[in-house]
A and B are shown apart, each in its own frame.
Chain A
């Protein structure tokens, strides 16, 4: 029996049980028409995915809400206070003059907010005129930082931070960021040259990739005590 559209879609979405998907696959092996349908569903899904990604803006990074005080009292902060944005200073990720840019600028506090709704403000000290753009992710256990391209003379400086976040700052350039679970992707096609990463106490592994190539892995070479520097130079130039 030919599978329904919903069954083919579920197959493409990997939402079928092993038995169901085996049954459909064995039908596809003998039915060219259904193979074509399956291919059409697959490419249709890919097209929709690509169109929807056009709508995306970089994920802003905000501190996780937390209310409980530790026995050391360092987390006594009220819930509201913990909601302050650690600035996703991805102003650099935005095209000047776009709505996105204005949004980031309003987050930075260096432009009047255009929305009537109150926006959380950046912590003091992050909005000087020559601000370093950056992102933070809350309390990662392991962290992978990916630079899109090598930078001759570019350096990533790693040092212990005082916050639970891991935060990455770029000084100069026009750098974009995407962040995810334990992952920061740096679009450095307009390179900054100098980056600083502050890592939290809870981090157990740090990996740095440049143009798909691993340039640092704390499982292979532990970080130097204090401050460590990782070159972002092209392969073979060191």
Chain B
């Protein structure tokens, strides 16, 4: 007995989907993990990353039709959500402290002592990312999250032809900053 026949009785529930729902479901299956990973790296906050990724898909679902560039569209929505969340948190901190506060940027977790080197490297990676402009950071993380130049252009509202130079600049800046951070910690 195959899985197909085992479940034939229930298969029609899925066949009943509209084209949008089918496309949405496929998009969710394919794009949730890359979007989450991008946001996790961007924010340093896995909890926030998961919530924002989920919310971006909720908005796509509400939209009721697939955009031309679903991957880029989801990132653009998610970037806005992260920015809004950061503003909200910053505002709250100001209210609490009176002083201009900096939003928490996901300080590296305090790992056990045997993970000390790893924790230091993670801290250096994070600090190096913080040195980049937001746009360069986003472009670098998207590229290393498997997004194509076309998707990055759609996500960041840039011309596709400018992605190459953006990535060259971001890669150089990241490596230079990482080496500086890493050397400083030794």
Residue positions of A touching B, CB distance < 8 A:
5-7, 9-10, 13, 15, 44-45, 47-49, 51-52, 54-57, 59-60, 62, 64-68, 70-72, 74, 79, 83, 95, 97-100, 103, 106, 115, 117, 119-120, 137-140, 160, 164, 179-182, 199-206, 218, 222-225
With A55-B40, A201-B7 known as contacts, the answer to whether A100 contacts B109 (CB < 8 A) is yes
With A55-B125, A68-B18 known as contacts, the answer to whether A160 contacts B111 (CB < 8 A) is no
- C-alpha gap A60/B37 in the complex (Å): 10
Q: For B50, what are the chain A residues with a Cβ–Cβ distance below 8 Å? A: 60, 62
- C-alpha gap A74/B61 in the complex (Å): 19
25 A-B pairs (CB sep. < 8 Å): A5-B168, A7-B164, A9-B167, A10-B149, A15-B148, A45-B171, A47-B175, A48-B140, A55-B125, A57-B40, A59-B37, A60-B46, A64-B28, A65-B61, A67-B61, A74-B13, A83-B58, A95-B115, A98-B109, A98-B112, A139-B29, A164-B14, A204-B4, A218-B3, A223-B6
Q: For B40, what are the chain A residues with a Cβ–Cβ distance below 8 Å? A: 55-57
Q: Are B168 and A6 in contact (CB under 8 A)?
A: yes
B134 in contact (CB, < 8 A) = no
Task: Tally B residues with Cβ within 8 Å of A.
Answer: 58
Residue positions of B touching A, CB distance < 8 A:
1-4, 6-7, 10-11, 13-14, 16, 18, 21, 24-25, 28-30, 32-33, 36-37, 40-41, 44, 46-48, 50-51, 54, 57-58, 61, 109-112, 115, 118, 121-122, 125-126, 140-141, 143-144, 148-149, 164-165, 167-168, 171, 174-175, 178
A24 to B: closest C-beta gap in Å? 13
Closest to B46 in A: A57
Q: For B140, what are the chain A residues with a Cβ–Cβ distance below 8 Å? A: 48
With A44-B175, A51-B178, A57-B46 known as contacts, the answer to whether A98 contacts B111 (CB < 8 A) is yes
- C-alpha gap A100/B11 in the complex (Å): 38
Q: For A199, what are the chain B residues with a Cβ–Cβ distance below 8 Å? A: 3
- C-alpha gap A126/B111 in the complex (Å): 27
- C-alpha gap A71/B33 in the complex (Å): 30
Which 8 A-B residue pairs are closest in the complex by CB-CB distance?
Answer: A201-B7, A6-B164, A99-B109, A201-B10, A57-B46, A64-B28, A225-B1, A222-B2
- A-side binding surface: helix, strand, loop or mixed? loop
Q: For B11, what are the chain A residues with a Cβ–Cβ distance below 8 Å? A: 201-202
Closest to A158 in B: B3
Q: Are A202 and B14 in contact (CB under 8 A)?
A: yes
8 Å CB contact of B41 from A56, A100, A204 = A56
- C-alpha gap A106/B50 in the complex (Å): 14
